[in-house]
Amino acid sequence: MLSLEEARDRLLAAVRSVTERETVPLRDGLDRILAEDLLAARAVPPADNSAMDGYALRCADWPAEGGLALAGTATAGAPFKGALPAGQCVRIMTGALIPDGCDAVIMQEECDLSGQGCTARVHLRRAPRPGENIRRAGEDIAVGDGLLEAGRRLRPADLGLLASLGLSAVEVLRRPRVALLSTGSELREPGEPLAEGQIYDSNRYLLTAMLRRLDVAITDLGICADTPERLQAVLESAARGHDVVIASGGVSVGEADHTRRVLDRIGRVDAYKVAMKPGKPFTFGTLGEALFLGLPGNPVSATVTFHQLALPALRHLAGERSGESPLLVPARAAAPLRKKPGRADFQRAVLFADGDGHRVATTGSQGSGVLSSVTRANAFIRLEAERGDVAAGDTVSVLPFDRWLM
């Protein structure tokens, strides 16, 4: 049996990232994978401008007996034309270009006004400091700055940044094509009536939702009955035109568990069984050009193996290069936890702040069919394979649910 880390390493080593690119409008760039390093072709902001509503002036004119006369106005998009005459200032709004000759902006709250019209004067209550309230050209981004690296999954602020540079489109990698099926003769589609012994297919719904967050192209192959002939036909056709085929169910050892035998016949089984709980029967291999991921049928096992194994593989396949490792938070166990040494354990739990630290409590029954243990949780307690029982108050590592699970 492979350790979780070995299984993940082997799986990642077996994945080839997509390289084909496409150009998408900026507004469609969210969650897509950037295809190239982006350098700034222009500066942001493009020119010195005011950070405040107030008065732009020359510091050398202070103290000004009788105040500064107003030479004109500068608003964002309508600059003051010409150079500032000595002993004068310019009424300026946030975002307006700094007029030639000015070296500071004083907030209007710090100024007094006297007179009106052409006799109006601006009086400062203190000495202006050179550069104050001026946002310099290139302060956010300078020409040639490295902005975003190839392999980045684009976030909302990234799209804003690219827009600030005037880019209307972005070069990204094509989406991975993923085929998804559930195996099991007992499974029915929600909405249909159930006969005796039947249950609804929940895995395809939860896995489709996680795949959507990943922004891959999904082909839903529906439910496949537990016959080797049927499964072989479905997998053979799925292997064509997809980068990955994901199936849940049928990876265990019973007579109706055909997945591995079929994979062995029409493709290759690269690994079977991982020392994790839940999720031990996780299987992966290849089907022609496609990667095959076989998740255990129990819904919690499918969720955990998808999160811990399929997700890193799919992100790598998508071309994502993120150096961030998942956040592990130390927390004290609110109650004792049962744990047999041997497999890394992912208990569903609620993590909460407690004084200066954190405490964590499980969401109850940890059966791998108890999907409500996941819906009630906001974290996994991650117990190392070799660890045994945990006493109340012991420190454990907690993996808060990330965007793929929340």
Ligand X SMILES: Nc1nc2c(c(=O)[nH]1)N[C@H]1C(S)=C(S)[C@@H](COP(=O)(O)OP(=O)(O)OC[C@H]3O[C@@H](n4cnc5c(N)ncnc54)[C@H](O)[C@@H]3O)O[C@H]1N2
Residue 202 touches ligand X, criterion: CB under 6 A: yes
Residue 382 touches ligand X, criterion: CB under 6 A: no
Total length of the chain: 406
Q: Which of 275/334 has CB closer to ligand MOO?
A: 275
Residue 405 touches ligand X, criterion: CB under 6 A: no
SS (H, E, C) 185-240: CCEECCCCCCCCCCEECCHHHHHHHHHHHHCCEEEEEEEECCCHHHHHHHHHHHHC
Specify the stretch interacting with ligand MOO by CB under 6 A; choose among 56-64, 138-146, 222-230, 271-279: 271-279
Q: Return d(Cα 24, Cα 31) in angstroms, integer.
A: 12
Residue 299 touches ligand X, criterion: CB under 6 A: yes
Q: Return d(Cα 284, Cα 211) in angstroms, integer.
A: 18
In whole angstroms, the minimum distance from the beta carbon of 224 to ligand X comes to: 10
* Structure-block tokens of residue 405: 């699970």
Residue 406 touches ligand X, criterion: CB under 6 A: no
Per-residue binding letters, 129-168, with ligand X (x by CB under 6 A): ----------------------------------------
CA angle 384, 386, 392 (to 5 degrees): 65
User: CB–CB of 134/50 below 8 Å?
Assistant: yes
Partner interacting with residue 202 (select from ligand MOO, ligand X, none; CB below 5-8 Å by kind)? ligand X
Site size with ligand MOO, rule: CB under 6 A: 8
Residue 285 touches ligand X, criterion: CB under 6 A: no
Q: Return d(Cα 345, Cα 366) in angstroms, integer.
A: 10
Among 128, 281, 319, 400, binds ligand X (CB under 6 A): 281
Give 6's strand partners.
none
The residues in 280-319 that bind ligand MOO, with binding defined as CB under 6 A, are 280, 296, 298, 301
Residue 259 touches ligand MOO, criterion: CB under 6 A: no
Q: Which of 277/316 has CB closer to ligand X?
A: 277
Q: Which of 159/221 has CB closer to ligand X?
A: 221
Bridge pairing between strands 177-183 and 244-248: parallel
CA angle 94, 98, 100 (to 5 degrees): 165
Per-residue binding letters, 234-273, with ligand X (x by CB under 6 A): --------------xxxxxx---x----------------
Q: Return d(Cα 380, Cα 362) in angstroms, integer.
A: 9
Site size with ligand X, rule: CB under 6 A: 26
In one-letter notation, the amino acid at residue 394 is D
Q: Return d(Cα 55, Cα 71) in angstroms, integer.
A: 10
Q: Which of 124/295 has CB closer to ligand MOO?
A: 295
User: CB–CB of 228/275 below 8 Å?
Assistant: no
User: CB–CB of 94/107 below 8 Å?
Assistant: no
Residue 313 touches ligand X, criterion: CB under 6 A: no
Among 49, 203, 303, 308, binds ligand X (CB under 6 A): 203
In whole angstroms, the minimum distance from the beta carbon of 279 to ligand MOO comes to: 5
Q: What is the DSSP letter of 28?
A: G
Specify the stretch interacting with ligand MOO by CB under 6 A; choose among 77-85, 277-285, 287-295, 322-330: 277-285
Residue 220 touches ligand X, criterion: CB under 6 A: no
Q: Which of 92/263 has CB closer to ligand X?
A: 263
In whole angstroms, the minimum distance from the beta carbon of 33 to ligand MOO comes to: 31
Partner interacting with residue 258 (select from ligand X, ligand MOO, none; CB below 5-8 Å by kind)? none
The residues in 311-370 that bind ligand MOO, with binding defined as CB under 6 A, are 368
Residue 308 touches ligand X, criterion: CB under 6 A: no
Q: In sequence order, which residues have a C-beta less than 8 Å from that of residue 296 and are 6 or more positions away?
A: 248, 249, 251, 252, 278, 279, 280, 281, 282, 302, 305, 368
Residue 138 touches ligand MOO, criterion: CB under 6 A: no
- 193: number of Cβ within 10 Å: 6
130-146 CB burial, b ≥16 within 10 A, e <16: eeebbbebbeebeeeee
Residues that bind ligand MOO (CB under 6 A): 277-280, 296, 298, 301, 368
Task: Please give the residue ranges that form the binding site for ligand X (CB under 6 A).
Answer: 182, 184, 186-187, 199, 201-204, 248-253, 257, 278, 280-281, 296-299, 301, 368-369
